[in-house]
Structure formats: C-alpha cells, structure tokens
Structure 1
Amino acid sequence: MSRVEAKQFANRIADLFIHHEEVKRIWDRFDSLRVHLKAGNQEHDPNHLMLTGISGVGKTQLATHYKRRNPVYTYVDRDETKIDIAPVLYIKLPYPFTALDFYKKILSGLGTKILRSDMRVGYAKDQALYLLRKQKTELIIFDELNFLTRTKRFDDQDGMEMFKDLSNEGVSLVCMGTPKVEYLLDMEDEYFRRFKLERIKPFEECDDRFCKLLKDIETAIQPPRSLQLGELESGLPQLLHDYCQGRIGYLHAILIEAYRLLGVFKDDFRDIHHAHLTVTKLREAKESFFGQTLR
C-alpha cells in the first residue's frame, strides 16, 4: 500500500465529522438566523442564540465545520476593489476575558493583523464594527462563553452588555458554552428576549440512533475490513456508548486515540491492514485519553 493511501486513511480519521440529526438541526437554526437577517424579519423571530451543551457533546466541532461550509470569498465592487467577504466567523473568546481582547479576537477572525500594541478599546471596537459591515458578516459564533463567567475581574453583566451592543449592529450572534452559563440570560429580560436558548443533547441511549452514528463513522473512515462498529451483536456500540457517555466529542477522541496507538499517524505508517480496531485497543485509548473514569 502506498504512503498516499495510508495518509488519506489517517486524514479521514483525523477529520472525522458526521452530519447526524442534531448537527443538521442546529445548522438549520444557524441558516434561519441568516435568512431572517437578510430578509429584515428579525422582529418576527429571535435572531440570536445561546447554544449550550455539556463538555464533549460536540459544540466546537459543529461550529467550526459550519464555518468551513461558509468560507471567506472575494468580491469585486464597482471600483474594482477586492473585498474579502466573511459571512460566518468562529471566535474563541479570550481568557481572561477583557473588552480589548474581545474586539481583537473579532478583528483577527476577519483576517486583520493586530499591529498596534497600544490599541485602545474604543479604536478596536470601531475597527471591528466597520470591518463587520464592510466584509458583510452575517453570523458570529462565539465559543467558550464560560471564559466570561470564569474571569473574576470582569463583570458578567458588562460582558452581556457587550454582546447586546454587538447584536444591534446587523449581525446575528451565537454564544456557546456549557449549561453553567445559562444564568446569564436571567440577568435581564432583554438578554432573555434577544437570545433564544438552544441545547445540544448527547446520545443518551445506546439505541438505533447511536448505532447509525457508528455505522456512519465506519463509512467515513473506510477501514480495510469491516469493524461492525454499529452492530449491537458485536458489542462495540454498548462498549463505546459506555466509554463516551453518549458524547460525540469524546467518541471521536477515543477513536482517534485508538488509531494513534495503532501507529496510523506516524510518518512511516504504510499498511492500513495493520491498523485494526479491537476492544483491547479501544480500552487502552479510553484510559490513555480520559483515565479510568470520565468526569
């Protein structure tokens, strides 16, 4: 087997992402926000979201892949000036959270190099708002909202006021975090009105839905021989569900770690037939990545 084929196999594992039902549901909500924004119908439907889910449920993967589906493209205006259009931004919030770093993150997401070390908050904000309009940004996905609540020297409500202020600028916002951040919506009726709460749930049961997910994963990986990953008779669905607790992010991590232990990501890896998943290797991967138990 050629190195190219082995590399393609490794890439399929590393880039593993399945468009399961929950992904499609949330992506449809993202699309809806943008459609209402373009149509000017924000008043008839909440045009901002707070998206929460427990750790490992797949929030970040869901968001980053949505960004990939909506890449930056170049537009040439009447003056033949080239403008990079950024319809969707994915922003990981800073920690510790500060107003200046908040706007710097937006500027970086828009492709702007931060050259001034003495940049002030007002200037950074003005530049960010100007470029968001110029680059026609429709949706900003802010990840790690928990970083705001964990920053002791920054008031939670001041942070929410920054999001509210930005939500008035013709761009839809999605703020993502664990369920612990949901209390932020209760601080003001205005926050609750503006940000509709959506929750991403794990696969709570080892049922047909979870088995289908595993079958789709096997199809995406394209192993050289059948793994029976989604067949209840093999015992693998029950084992994997117990290991990952129904959290797809944890599931991906266990599978990727198992293949790493099998040598798939080494430079001298050549033969994918030698990289066959077993119960023993999955157990080693789970304990290597998470320890004896998941918390």
Structure 2
Amino acid sequence: MSRLEVKSFANRIRRLYIEHGEVNRIWSKFDSLRLCNSFSEEEEEIPDIEDEKDPRHLILMGLSGVGKSQIGKRYAKRNPGYTLETEDEKIDIKPVIYVELPFPFTQLHFYTAILKALGTDNFRRDERINHVKNRVLGLLKKQKTEMIIFDEMNFIMRTKRFDDQEAMEMLKDLTNKCQLCIVCMGTPKIEVLRNMEDEYIRRFGKDVIQRFEECDDLFCNLLSDIEQTIQPPEEIGLGDPSTGYPQLLHFYSQGRIGYIHAILKEAYRLLGVFEDCEDLNKLVLTVDILRQAKFNLFGESDHLT
C-alpha cells in the first residue's frame, strides 16, 4: 500500500457512512411525507389550492448515537435544489433543508437558523423579530421548500426561559403559512411536546430510529458492510462472530452506529492512519486497539447504560 493508498484509506474512514435498512426506512417515510404534500403544476394553478393542503409532519426520536443527525443531513443532501432563472433574478430552489435548532432557543435564533439553511446570512442582528419572520416565510415560499428537518428538538425543552408550547405554536404557524411538512428530531424525551395538545398529536406522526438490539446477523452484516466500505489493507473479519469483533463492538456501542463509527475512527487514529503512516504493518486493527479507542472516547464508565 503506497502513501496515496493510505490517504485514500484514511478518507474512506473519515467519510464512513452505511445506508443500512433503518436509514432507508426513515428516508422512505420522508419521501412519503413530501409526496402527500405535493401537487402537480396543473393543480397548483387552481385558485385557493393551497387551502386544500393538509401537510403531514413527524416527530422522529432515537437514543443518542443511533444516527439521527446523519439521517437528516444526508437526506437533505440527497435532495439538492437547483437554480431557477426568471426574467428578474436567479432563485435557489431548496426542496429540503436541514436546520439544527439553537441553544438557548429563542425566536430570533430560530428564524435566523432557517435563513442560514436557505443560504442567506444577510440580516441585521437588531432587526425586529416580525421582519425576520416575514422574510423567512417569504423565502420558504419563493424557494419552494417542501420539508424542513429540525434537529436537536431537546434544546427547546432545555431552554428554561422559553415556553415549550410557544415553540410548538411557532412550528405550527410555520407549517400553516408555508404549507410545508416538518420533521422534528430528538431523543425520546421530546414526545412530551407532541402530547401537549390533541392537535399536535393529530398533526405529528411519530417514529423511532431503532438501534441494533442484538449482536445478530443484521449487526454482523452491518460490520461486514463497514469493512467492505473502508477496504482495509488486510482482511479483518469485522462481521465474523468467530473473530470476537462483533460481540466486542456491540458491547461497546450497544448497537448504536454513531458510537461504532467513533470507535473505529479513533482506533485508526491511534494506528496513525491520519498522519501519513509509513509503516503499513501498523494498520492492523486489534482488540487492544479497539479497547484503547473505547477508553479514549468514554473512559472506564459504562457510558451507555
């Protein structure tokens, strides 16, 4: 393996992402939400057609490390926009945007986070909140946004100076004014936001991103896919139960793919892959290296219990 090959190997580890079954299931649900909110060009020309839309929304929950943020970010990247040229201007069409909610959560930070996701940082910090809100509503319509994925919904609940129900009403108002669908992502604690009102329960479906509960064939296949994706210089047998790797990684991660990625990246950092490694014999993943990587990240504590 040449230096160039080592760099290529390091880049594969950095970009590591596996579209396993649970990822594709959630993405399919996102597609369904958008489809239920779409109209043909002929229908959109009918007067008051917007009044007939009843967008569906989703509260998407999952434990820390199951991959919520990556699912949201990568879905937005999978659905890129395009530039629409009119006689007067060029418009960046943004069908799906990903927004990480701010902490502490405030109205101004909420709307400016949406503006940034739409591609603009051009706003005054002292601008009145109603002006910022109207600008957001106008751009969402102009840029034909169909879905907003809001991540870190827990930040709403952690902001003690902001009322949880006021935040939910802000989300509802956004969907009413712009006729788009939203996905709200967070840990299972955010379900209380949905349960505050019958209206929220009607508007928002709920789903849970599952971790790999057992060290079974599904988990072993995931590890085999990881090994196939990173293409190590020597075969590891990452998904082969006879090597002990699946059992060890499941114990360390409790089936949460985000932790698996973190441990593997730290393990290869320890091996020197990201520092132009010249001794290719060092690129061998071992149990001791995985143990040290886990310790570096999480210490001795049973961090996931």
- Alignment CA distance shift 1:164-1:22 (3 Å): same
- Aligned partner of 2:272 in structure 1 is 263
The amino acid of 1:251's aligned partner reads I
Q: Tell me, yes or no, if the aligned pair for 1:224 and 1:273 is still in contact at 8 Å.
A: no
Structure 2: where are the runs of 5+ without partners? 41-48
Give the stretch that moved more between structures: 28-37 or 99-108: 28-37
Q: Matches of 1:287 and 1:9 in 2, distance apart?
A: 24
Q: Which amino acid aligns with 1:242?
A: F
1:118 alignment counterpart: 126
In the aligned structure 2, how far is the partner of 1:273 from the partner of 1:220?
20
Matches of 2:170 and 2:278 in 1, distance apart? 52
> How far apart are residue 110 of structure 1 and its match?
0.5
> What is the match of residue 136 of structure 2?
128
Aligned pair 1:174/2:183, yes or no?
A: yes
Given the superposition, is the C-alpha separation of residues 227 and 106 from structure 1 closer, same or farther in structure 2, using an over 3 Å criterion? same
Residue 57 of structure 1, aligned match among 59, 66, 69: 66
The one-letter amino acid of 2:197's match is E
CA contact (8 A) 1:46 1:193 kept: no
Structure 2 counterpart of 1:173, one-letter code: I
Larger mean Cα displacement after TM superposition, 40-49 or 139-148: 40-49
Partner of 1:14: 14
Give the corresponding residue for 2:109. 101
Asked whether 1:82 is paired with 2:93, we answer: no
Whether the 8 Å contact between 2:213 and 2:255 is mirrored in structure 1 is: yes
CA deviation map 1:151-173 (0-9, x unaligned): 00000000000111112122110
Q: How does 1:250-289 map to 2 (within 5 A)?
A: 250-266=259-275, 268-270=276-278, 273-289=281-297
Q: 1:215 to 1:46 in 2, by over 3 A?
A: farther
Counterpart code for 1:258: A
CA-to-aligned-CA distance 1:18-45 (integer Å, 9 cap, x gap): 1111001000001111111113899898
The match for 1:242 among 251, 258, 265 is: 251
Contact 2:55–2:179 (Cα < 8 Å) also in 1? no
Identity %: 58
- Asked if 1:206 is matched to 2:206, the reply is no
Aligned to 1:73: 82
Question: 1:76/1:269 Cα in 2 relative to 1: closer, same or farther (>3 Å)?
Answer: farther
Say whether the 8 Å CA contact 2:54–2:179 is kept in structure 1: no
Q: 1:17 to 1:102 in 2, by over 3 A?
A: same
> TM-score with structure 2 length normalisation?
0.91
Does the CA contact (< 8 Å) of 1:23 and 1:62 recur in 2?
yes
Alpha-carbon distance in 2 for matches of 1:214, 1:61: 18
Contact 1:9-1:272 within 8 A present in 2 as well = no
Q: What's the CA shift for 1:115?
A: 3.7
Aligned: 1:161 with 2:186: no
- How does the TM-score come out when normalised to structure 1? 0.94
* 2:303 aligned residue: 294
Which structure 1 residue ranges, 5 or more long, are not aligned? none
Q: Distance in 2 between matches of 1:73 and 1:44?
A: 24
Counterparts of 1:214-233 in structure 2, within 5 Å, are 214-233=223-242
Deviations 1:37-56 (A, max 9, x none): 11389989861100000111
Whichever residue aligns with residue 39 of structure 1, its letter is: F
Q: 1:136 to 1:244 in 2, by over 3 A?
A: same
Deviation of 1:269 after TM superposition, in Å, equals: 3.0
| Contact 1:83/1:135 (8 A) holds in 2 | yes
Tell me which of 178, 192, 201 is aligned to 1:183. 192
Quick check: 1:6–1:271 contact (8 Å CA) kept in 2? no
Deviations 1:108-140 (A, max 9, x none): 001111441212211111111111111111111
Instruction: Give, in whole Å, the separation in 2 of the partners of 1:66 and 1:8.
Output: 25
Q: CA deviation at 1:273?
A: 4.9
Q: How many pairs were matched up?
A: 293
* CA-CA distance at 1:3 after TM superposition: 3.6
Which position in structure 1 is the counterpart of 2:31? 31
